Amino acid sequence: MAITIHSQPNCVNCDVTKALLDKKGVEYNLIDMVDEPEIGAAIKAEGWMQAPVVKVDLPGLKTEWDGINFEKLRQAVAAAQS
């Protein structure tokens, strides 16, 4: 799996991102930044400002973003399904 979602509780954008990938049948790793505070601190140190932080490393697509980004989600789904 090469899509990782760094999430937190009560995050609407996190829920939307997961729901879209679930609907398309795309697998992903889910990391709760509250349950794993050292990862949350590392994400913050990288300069990310909002959840979720999504990191994609698939053949033909390597990208990262924070918050909701429908265009990049579409690209990730297409790369995962190809």
Mind listing the pLDDT tens digit for each residue in 5-56? 999 999 999 999 999 999 999 999 999 999 999 998 999 999 999 999 999 9
Helix (H, G, I), strand (E, B) or coil at 63: strand
pLDDT-derived band of residue 82, with 50, 70 and 90 as boundaries? confident
Please tell me the predicted confidence (pLDDT) of residue 79.
95
For the segment 59-80, the average pLDDT, to the nearest whole number, is 95
Q: Is the per-residue pLDDT at 1 higher than 70?
A: no
How many CA atoms does the CB half-sphere of 66 hold within 13 Å? 10
3-class SS shares of the chain: helix, strand, coil, % to 5:
40, 25, 35
Measured between alpha carbons, how far is 5 from 10 in angstroms, rounded to an integer?
A: 15
pTM, 2 dp: 0.92
The amino acid that residue 6 corresponds to is H
Measured between alpha carbons, how far is 3 from 43 in angstroms, rounded to an integer?
A: 15
